[in-house]
Amino acid sequence: MDFDTVKDLSSKYLFQNYGRLDLAFVRGEGCYLFDAAGKKYLDAVAGIAVNCLGYAYPEWVKAMQDQLTKLVHVSNLYYVEEQAKLAQRLNTITPDPITRTLFVNSGAEANEGALKTAVRYTKRHKVLAALNGFHGRTSAALGATGQTKYQASFEPLISNVYHYYTYNDLESVKSLIDRDTAALMIEGIQGEGGVVPASEEFLKGVRDLCTDLGVLMVVDEVQTGMGRTGKWFCMDHFGIVPDIITTAKGLGAGMPIGAVMTTDEIAAVMTPGTHGTTFGGNPLVTASGCAVIDIISRHHILDNVNKVGKNWVDDLQKLKQENSHIVDVRGRGFLLGAEIDTPEKAVAIRDYMIAHGVLTNVCHGKTIRIIPPLIFSAEQKDDYMKVFTEALQ
Ligand SMILES: Cc1ncc(COP(=O)(O)O)c(C=O)c1O
């Protein structure tokens, strides 16, 4: 189907809830996408930090083909072998106290599950979330998303249990947190909020406050998890052990899956009937999660993220010194942001890059966000930077 037909049908039959770019892809290979006209694009968006193995990664494709022919869905009325295997694998890559997993279908759902678990465990109802954070768009997750642009027109939100602290400001957390607080939600790097990292001091202070007051520290690793920052989870850089970790995006390499992970003790409150989802953790998506962890481990892909990510930050910093349109460079591993002086310029840069065959993303108005597949090579990074540099000029 040609692009115009795709666009016409989409305009006519779909909800118009996304502001889409004039692009549609028909296939992908490695870190490249191709449109119907055969034009090739280097992809530094990866389906918004999802396609960790790029496109058509042979070992992953084989794992999916094998699973497709065996079993796709059975429901959680029964035991699911691939679910058990993936939970076991997640146990090996999360901090020791985090032992158990609940599978869901998306990042927002993982956060919903985490909040329900925290409320049930603590028997408290207040939730603290960061201003400028992002936790998803379902009702409870939207409540925790401290940005009026997402909440406006949906108020009152399902409850008024949410209180918003200022990110990287421990005094702000101290002024809100108390023994009525069930959970404090936090991202190690605010992804949608413009690639804003939390400081180590802040994260450690939050961890201590939560421990002192019996508040569950829920770390949202939906975007930062599964190796995106160069370690399996962003908190691993700081040695911080959350009470609950949520993840999604990269976990399925494109298959829709999310996970809530916590300790034996906390998980124990979620008895049969307290939570669940029909599709959650079906054989196909959990086989994908197993393949993702196996492939990343076997091929030392996190070494690539660390090495190329570090050089990428250096390149961006160097460019910032030469070019006044870049006002800040932030992030870690393959979750990087270059803040541009105006939203108009950020969009113009993105559009120039797309026209020259490089996909990049603008988030939070004026931050060029770099979230490529974890297999993005040093040469591909150089190709990106060449076009980015041209775009800035
Ligand atoms: C940190 C974070 N949490 C939650 C979500 C929501 O995930 P989903 O879109 O899969 O519901 C996102 C999505 O961008 C995210 O970045």
What is the Cα–Cα distance from 46 to 360, expressed in whole angstroms? 9
The reply to whether ligand 1 has any atom less than 6 angstroms from the CB of 107 is yes
Q: What is the pLDDT of residue 149?
A: 84
Distance 137 CA to ligand 1 centre (A): 8
Distance 258 CA to ligand 1 centre (A): 10
Q: What is the pLDDT of residue 160?
A: 53
pLDDT at 138 over 60: yes
Confidence tier at 139 by pLDDT (50, 70, 90): confident
Fold type of domain 3-57+300-392:
Aspartate Aminotransferase, domain 1 (3.90.1150)
Which atom of ligand 1 is nearest the CA belonging to 190? 1
- Tell how strand 367-370 and strand 335-340 pair up: antiparallel
Confidence tier at 157 by pLDDT (50, 70, 90): low
User: Which has the closest alpha carbon to 210: 189, 238, 182, 237?
Assistant: 182
Ligand 1: residue whose CA is nearest its atom 3:
135
What is the Cα–Cα distance from 385 to 370, expressed in whole angstroms? 11
What is the Cα–Cα distance from 248 to 110, expressed in whole angstroms? 7
- SS3 state of residue 341: coil
The reply to whether ligand 1 has any atom less than 6 angstroms from the CB of 221 is no
Distance 1 CA to ligand 1 centre (A): 31
CA distances from 278 to 90, 103, 268, 275 (A): 21, 10, 21, 11
| Contact between 145 and 118 (Cβ < 8 Å) | no
The two tokens of residue 122 are 């603590």
Q: What is the pLDDT of residue 279?
A: 97
| Contact between 96 and 292 (Cβ < 8 Å) | no
Which atom of ligand 1 is nearest the CA belonging to 136? 6
The rounded percent of the chain whose pLDDT value lies above 90 is 92
What is the Cα–Cα distance from 210 to 174, expressed in whole angstroms? 10
Long-range contacts of 23-31 (CB under 8 A, 24+ apart): 23/354, 27/55, 27/56, 28/54, 28/55, 28/56, 29/54, 29/55, 29/56, 30/54, 30/55, 30/56, 30/57, 30/373, 30/375, 31/55, 31/372, 31/373, 31/375, 31/376, 31/377, 31/380
Q: What is the pLDDT of residue 156?
A: 65
336 forms beta bridges with 331, 370
Alpha-carbon torsion 146, 148, 151, 155, what sign? positive
Ligand 1: residue whose CA is nearest its atom 8:
107
Q: What is the pLDDT of residue 159?
A: 57
Alpha-carbon torsion 271, 244, 124, 279, what sign? negative
| Contact between 32 and 40 (Cβ < 8 Å) | yes
User: Using one digit for the tens of pLDDT, what is the confidence trace for 355-385?
Assistant: 999 999 999 999 999 999 999 999 999 999 9
The reply to whether ligand 1 has any atom less than 6 angstroms from the CB of 185 is no
User: Using one digit for the tens of pLDDT, what is the confidence trace for 303-351?
Assistant: 999 999 999 999 999 999 999 999 999 999 999 999 999 999 999 999 9
- DSSP for 216-265 reads EEEEE-TTTTTTTTSSSSGGGGTT---SEEEE-GGGGBTB--EEEEE-HH
357 contacts: CB under 8 Å, gap ≥ 6 = 39, 40, 41, 42, 387
Alpha-carbon torsion 311, 50, 53, 96, what sign? positive
What is the Cα–Cα distance from 240 to 95, expressed in whole angstroms? 9
The most distant pair of C-alpha atoms in the chain lies apart, rounded to whole Å, by 60
Range name among 125-129, 154-158, 249-253, 261-265 with the lowest pLDDT average: 154-158
Per domain, the residue ranges of the chain are: 3-57+300-392, 71-298
Which atom of ligand 1 is nearest the CA belonging to 111? 4
Pick the CATH number of 71-298 from 3.40.640.10, 1.10.4190.10, 3.90.1300.10, 3.90.700.10: 3.40.640.10
More reliable by pLDDT, 220 or 148: 220
Q: What is the pLDDT of residue 151?
A: 77
